[in-house]
Chains A and B, each alone.
Chain A
Amino acid sequence: MHPFEYVRATDSDQAVAVVTEDPSASYLAGGTTQLDLMKDGVLDPDRLVDITRLPLGGISHTDSSIRVGALTTMEELAADPVVRERLPFVWEALLLGASTQLRNMATIGGNLLQRARCRYFRDPTVAACNKRSPGSGCAAIAGIQRMHAILGTSDHCIALHASDVAVPLTALDALLHVQGADGTRTVPLTQFYLPPGDTPHIENVLRHGELITAVEIPLLPAAARSHYIKVRDRVSYEFALTSAGVALVQEDGVIREARVALGGVGTVPWRAWDAEDVLRDAPAGADTFLAAARAALGGARPLPGTAFKVELAQRTLIRTLETVAGAES
């Protein structure tokens, strides 16, 4: 591991100032991604600014949303009764997203900023990785593709965004509160992540030194039902091959409101706007669900090793829609 200086931040302004001024500095929160990548030689910050003592935890509620401090752990968020009652698919995604040990360490802010699980990105002996070394190429495209994305990919990167909880949060239009050296701003999660394009090393709109301070999650209408399904090779402790987070409001068998996002398939947590358009004001039933699933995967660009994911993702979404709509017991 590259030697580094460890700094424990005492207030947010100081933390932001230190990291903003030092291009080789990084924040340290739960560390469940950051430290792994440092040990593997993928990240080599000269300075780690530990923010875990900052007052950025805690969950507060209003009638229409919950505000989650960025240092809230996944486990703390999953334990919040409002999340469980009003946002069941967020609760499910949290529990399916990591083991208890990791949920107790990992923060919600860190979860949203987790790096790609790509086996080529995570091994510095692989020379060709545009995400790690811009312009070096992408070994994954010619390599073992099974765990990679089919939506939002480019010729320069096919790495997947592997967060589970980001899927329902994307569907919910969650907002990120961000603090920078010049003040604070708010970024919708749906506009936070950047597709790889020809700059896969730029993964989101944060500028160096900007710090996520809170995530604001709108609550679903009381009449909504939601569900998150995760399909993976083993029953637990594994990233998704495909996943779907769905929230529906139905009225007499007709879908009035639909929020749909997919995991395991996108270079970013994938909001399935086209599927929502199909679902809205359509009768809840097999034909509608199939049409929605096809719409959701319409832009897929599979490789031979990921071809099966197009079908699997559609079936995963259909199963999730069926479950939420109550068509399946």
Chain B
Amino acid sequence: MTTLEAARAVGPGLDRVDAPMKVTGKAHYPNDFGYPGLVHAALVHSTVAAGRIRGIDTSAAETAPGVQAVITHLTAPRLEPGPMTLLGASPPTPFQDDRILHHGQHIAIVVASSPEQARHAASLVRVDYERSEPLLDVHDPRATVVENPWGLDSDRGDVDAGFAAADVVVGGTFTTPDNTNNPLGLMSTVASWNGDSLTVHDSTQWPHNVRATLAAVFKVPESGIRVLAPYVGGGFGAGLRVWPHVILTVLAARQVGKPVKLVLTRPEMFTSVGHRPDSVQQIRIGATRAGDLTAITHEGLSSVAMEDDDYEPVSLCSAVSYACPNVRTQDRQVRLNIPCPGSMRGPAEGQGNFALESALDELAHELGMDPVELRLRNYCEEHPLLGLPWSSKALRDCYLQGAERFGWSRRDPRPGSMRDGRWLVGYGMAGVSYPHYQVPCQARASLHRDGSADVRSAATDIGTGTYTIMTQLSAEQLGLDVSRVHFDLGDSDMPYAPQAGGSGLTSALGNAVGAACRNLIREFLDVVKDDADSPLRGAAPDEVSVSGGRIHRTGAPDQGESYTDILTRHGLEELSADGRSTPPQPDGGGMATAGAFGAKFVEVRVDPDLGLLRVARVVSAIDGGRILNEKTATSQIVGGTVGGIGQAMFEETATDPGTGRIANATFGDYLVAVNADVPDMEVIFVGGPDRATPIGTKGVGEVGLVGVAAAVANAVHHATGRRIRSLPITIDQLL
């Protein structure tokens, strides 16, 4: 392998390379795009949660000013289902029949000359429903229950014997509510047809998925479809799937023969682009008096839409996080008349970790053992299901260094024992073992005669820092200054990239970029292999190093030459190479591929009279493998922590019990953490490169959120003696 001598491009906190574009307004988000003749769409939604459309009167809408088309299930053409994807089946194709499956379901799309005209006309559509009684509650006995939806239920050892051997058993029912992703950027689609070819600007986390889905749904060749998403206003998972509104915008553009733009409203963001489903979890943990875990059972129940899938194995974390011989985990989903759930930052883990890490805190309290010590005592050096050593695991360092930085030793374990004036003070912590995820990815690297490089892949940067870290990584791999590298993404005409999701993109893309860069150097060596004028003649890739825009023989910096010299002498404008990455196989390397690990330490203040809860500070200690950019990685953890505070204290999508209407679908009613709620947050990275891939990274997009809710709840218990088992933790629970 080519030796990298100038590794300074990676690691330090390089400012985001896209920041100047963003702060000067030159970064164009999907809804910034326009076309000559562009018209605007607005959606009409079902105001019942179950039933059929008996009649739909669009006459007033059709004659309203500026209206060009009103499309309903009665006028829409037959469209095909979307394809199976890495994330499961596509959401149901819209407008194919008269059935209503949830409140807020799109039932008409109106196209008009202006957005205002479209919205007004949409309000004029009259619908006659044949109502059915909706199923809205996971405990409704009439609802269909899907057992073991992903085949991930696990059972090892003998849990009955394990509980029989336990000196202490703790646990109970934990509940988490629906949460809504709510990226700041309203999801937008701009669609423009030209014959059978189609250009789409979309707020997606996965351009290739949009392309493949639209090709399947509209039965046109993928080669004619281009999906662009160079900048996306956040996602948190909401952009992972091709939701019905995307298909409807493309359909509308074809029907009116003009480019169409649709920007979802904030209330529509609650019903149209997924949400974290609620959960009801039963967890029991048994342990010996000495603190050795003897048994864990964890059962999760989540809601799912009537005719859609969602991956939320909430109990799985209990099977893979600790050394315990007897563990049974089980998940079920209940089909309800609700908007389709979907991945939201830390899907499943965000819910399951709250139950697991709360119950462990309860166990530590019952045992009179320090919560950190309990976790260290049951530390698993091997993956509990695979029996293989982890490709990397510095969770012990997360616990120890996090505790040190936080000042955990100052914690008096007695609940209610620490005060600051009127405020009760609580310290709480939680551990996180985030699952590994990686799927195939491709990239292409080109070096030009002027010594600059272009590297590209159809990935997205949803605010995570992908542009920046891939620029750094490319610079490192090619021995260039970061200013000489241009990394481009967000275009389905570029080499295939998977979704920005599952904390999997950095490793997938990073290893593809690494491979492309290595292949590119090989191309250069191939060009000069018989070149008598080249000091690199005959050199093999493992005999050279790159630095300063040059390739040279390792250990002999003067025996080399620049990319520019090679290209110039051989009359070449540029050289390019492709690279691909595939996920490491767990058994192939004799190790279990590891995701990120983390330990969260939280201090809270509780005013017991008024029930006020404030998070005073958070320390996150993270093992994210090799950190490509400490600044953007820290931002990921900080942002995740803010999301975790929201999950812990504020966020709850409220569904009206009778109607299935989302009752708080605005930013005034659905509370997220605001600046005043966000405390001092400290992030430390521990560990080193992961062994499973050449680049050595592990994703850090989600590990920042997971564990915060449990750590807050555990801190609340420490402050007040109250064990809160239901999120969010609100004033009424603390009175």
Contacts and interface: CB of A to CB of B under 8 A. Distances in A.
Interface string A124-139: 0110000000000001
A125 B663 CA distance: 11
Interface stretch (A22-30, A108-116, A308-316): A308-316
Contacts of B650: 233-234
Contact of B731 (A3, A241, A318, A319): A241
Interface residues of B, number: 35
A123 B661 contact: yes
Given A119-B664, A143-B658, A312-B731, A238 B671 contact: yes
A1 B120 contact: yes
B20 interface: no
Nearest to A306: B732
A237 B611 CA distance: 18
Interface in A94-127: 117, 119-120, 123, 125-126
B122 to A, nearest CB: 10
A231 B659 CA distance: 30
A119 B652 CA distance: 14
B123 A315 contact: no
A235 B614 contact: yes
B6 interface: no
Interface in B621-679: 649-650, 654, 656-659, 661, 663-664, 668-669, 671, 673-677
Interface in B593-623: 609-612, 614
Given A41-B123, A123-B661, A143-B663, A235 B731 contact: no
B735 interface: yes
A142 B120 contact: no
A311 B732 CA distance: 10
Contacts, number: 82
A318 B610 CA distance: 10
Contacts of B656: 139, 143-144
Q: Could you tell me the dominant secondary structure of chain A's interface residues? A: loop
A319 B661 contact: no
B573 interface: no
Interface in A311-329: 311-312, 315-316, 318-319, 328
A234 B661 contact: no
B610 A234 contact: no
Contact of A233 (B65, B661, B731): B731
A184 interface: no
B315 to A, nearest CB: 29
B669 A119 contact: yes
B47 interface: yes
A312 B661 contact: no
Contact of B735 (A1, A234, A237, A312): A312
A308 B657 contact: no
B97 interface: no
A233 B729 CA distance: 10
A41 B121 CA distance: 12
B677 A235 contact: yes
B671 A233 contact: yes
B119 interface: yes
A234 B676 contact: yes
Contacts of B614: 235
Nearest to A316: B610
A61 interface: no
A14 interface: no
B657 A143 contact: yes
B663 to A, nearest CB: 5
Given A1-B119, A319-B609, A234 B657 contact: no
A2 interface: yes
Nearest to B265: A39
Given A125-B661, A126-B661, A312-B735, A231 B612 contact: yes
Interface string B713-735: 00000000000000000111001
Contact of A2 (B120, B658, B663): B120
B676 A117 contact: no
Contacts of B661: 123, 125-126
Nearest to B614: A235
Given A3-B120, A231-B610, A234-B674, A125 B47 contact: yes
B116 interface: yes
A146 B731 CA distance: 11
A147 B119 CA distance: 29
A108 to B, nearest CB: 21
A190 B60 CA distance: 45
B690 to A, nearest CB: 38
A144 B659 CA distance: 12
B270 to A, nearest CB: 12
A144 B671 contact: no
A311 B675 CA distance: 29
A311 B612 contact: no
Nearest to A305: B732
B610 A144 contact: no
B170 to A, nearest CB: 27
Interface in A282-326: 308, 311-312, 315-316, 318-319
Nearest to A126: B661
Interface string A63-104: 000000000000000000000000000000000000000000
Contacts of B669: 119, 147
Contacts of B730: 233
Contacts of B610: 231, 312, 315-316, 319
Nearest to A147: B669
Interface string B491-523: 000000000000000000000000000000000
A236 interface: yes
Contact of A235 (B422, B663, B674): B674
A28 to B, nearest CB: 17
Nearest to B733: A308
The interface centre, meaning the residue of A146, A233, A235 with most chain B CB atoms within 10 A of its CB, is: A233
A117 B120 contact: no
B663 A311 contact: no
Nearest to A239: B668
A71 B612 CA distance: 35
A141 to B, nearest CB: 11
A231 B734 CA distance: 13
Given A1-B116, A117-B668, A119-B663, A231 B731 contact: yes
A312 B663 contact: no
The interface centre, meaning the residue of B65, B120, B661, B675 with most chain A CB atoms within 10 A of its CB, is: B661
Contacts of A312: 610-611, 731-732, 735
B676 A235 contact: yes
Contacts of B119: 1
A237 B650 CA distance: 13
Interface string A16-59: 00000000000000000000000001000000000000000000
Nearest to A308: B732
A308 B735 contact: yes
Nearest to B669: A119
B676 A144 contact: no
A31 to B, nearest CB: 16
Contacts of B731: 231, 233, 241, 308, 312
A235 B677 CA distance: 6
B678 to A, nearest CB: 9
Contact of B673 (A119, A126, A139, A234): A234
Contact of A237 (B654, B664, B674): B674
A120 B650 CA distance: 20
Contacts of B676: 234-237
A311 B658 CA distance: 28
B36 to A, nearest CB: 27
**Shortest Cβ-Cβ A-B pairs, 10 listed:** A235-B676, A308-B732, A236-B676, A125-B47, A119-B663, A237-B674, A144-B654, A235-B677, A234-B677, A144-B663
28 contacts: A1-B116, A1-B119, A2-B120, A2-B123, A3-B65, A3-B120, A120-B663, A123-B661, A123-B663, A142-B658, A143-B663, A146-B732, A231-B611, A231-B731, A233-B730, A233-B731, A234-B650, A234-B676, A236-B674, A236-B675, A237-B674, A238-B671, A308-B735, A311-B735, A312-B611, A312-B732, A312-B735, A315-B609
